[in-house]
Amino acid sequence: MTATDLIRRDARALAHRESRLADGLPLLRIEVWGGGYGGLVRLILGQLVSIEAADAMWRNLNAALGEVTPDTIGRADAATLRRCGFTDRKAGFARKIGAALIDFAELDALPDEEIVARLDALPGVGRWTAECYLLFCLGRRDVFPAGDLALRIGWQEIAGFAETPTEAALRTDAEQWAPHRTAAAYLIWGKYLRTRGRG
């Protein structure tokens, strides 16, 4: 089974066990992009923008560069990167990470928390991006990016909380869904997006 198949299976089992998450089915499109520099740049490019905008910017970047590598990002001029959606700050982060010559094959084989720690130390990454790398790039099955605002609001609405939970509170709540926290994230995102007519 592929990583997407396994996550989908986890989600069905979790929705059966946790009825409050069942409205998240059918699922938000599950994607596993593969690890490496390109996947990390895709996440940086998509920080603080909608899913639709992030997807469009990624398509534009691939069309402009042919392939997203440290070399193609390093050689691209500022105007090209801006047309693809990069701010100067994000472009700087992408160039610095490319210049760091990270061995992604070695990195991607590490345990989840070690990957998060190493990525969190890079410029422009942070814990949310590092956890999303595990989820979207590597297809790890027990990851919950609790700093994600849509997850916090989505869980508030599902659980009926008067206030949006903090990242720390949501991370604690998510422990109940281990070892299928990735599936829980997808179920909450799915419900959140459909509630807003985007699922």
Distance CA 5, CA 10 (A): 9
- Buried b or exposed e, range 73-100, using 16+ CB within 10 angstroms: beebeeeebeebbbeeebbebbbebbee
Query: Average model confidence (pLDDT) for the chain?
Result: 95
Confidence of residue 29 (pLDDT cuts 50, 70, 90): confident
The 10s digit of each residue's pLDDT in 144-168 is 999 999 999 999 999 999 999 999 9
**Res 198: pLDDT:** 76
Higher-pLDDT residue of 198, 99: 99
Q: Which two tokens stand for residue 151?
A: 């997850």
Distance CA 153, CA 80 (A): 35
Asked whether 143 and 182 are in contact (CB, 8 A), the reply is yes
CB under 8 Å to 84, separation ≥6 — which residues? 45, 57, 60, 61, 64
**Residue 108 to residues 94, 113, 118, 123, 164: CA-CA distances in angstroms?**
18, 11, 11, 18, 33
**Res 196: pLDDT:** 83
| 31 secondary structure, DSSP code | -
Continuous segment of H or E residues that includes residue 91: helix 88-99
**Average pLDDT of the residues in 94-109:** 96
Distance CA 16, CA 32 (A): 24
**Res 109: pLDDT:** 97
**Res 116: pLDDT:** 98
**Res 27: pLDDT:** 66
**Res 23: pLDDT:** 87
**Res 199: pLDDT:** 61
The 10s digit of each residue's pLDDT in 37-81 is 999 999 999 998 988 999 999 999 999 999 999 999 999 999 999
- Buried b or exposed e, range 157-190, using 16+ CB within 10 angstroms: ebeeeeeebebeebeebbeebeebbbbbbbbbbb
Asked whether 23 and 192 are in contact (CB, 8 A), the reply is no
**Average pLDDT of the residues in 178-189:** 96
**Res 25: pLDDT:** 83
| 85 secondary structure, DSSP code | T
Residue 104, pLDDT > 70, answer yes
Q: What percent of the chain has pLDDT over 90?
A: 89
The 10s digit of each residue's pLDDT in 3-28 is 999 999 999 999 999 999 998 887 66
**Average pLDDT of the residues in 164-178:** 98
**Res 197: pLDDT:** 82
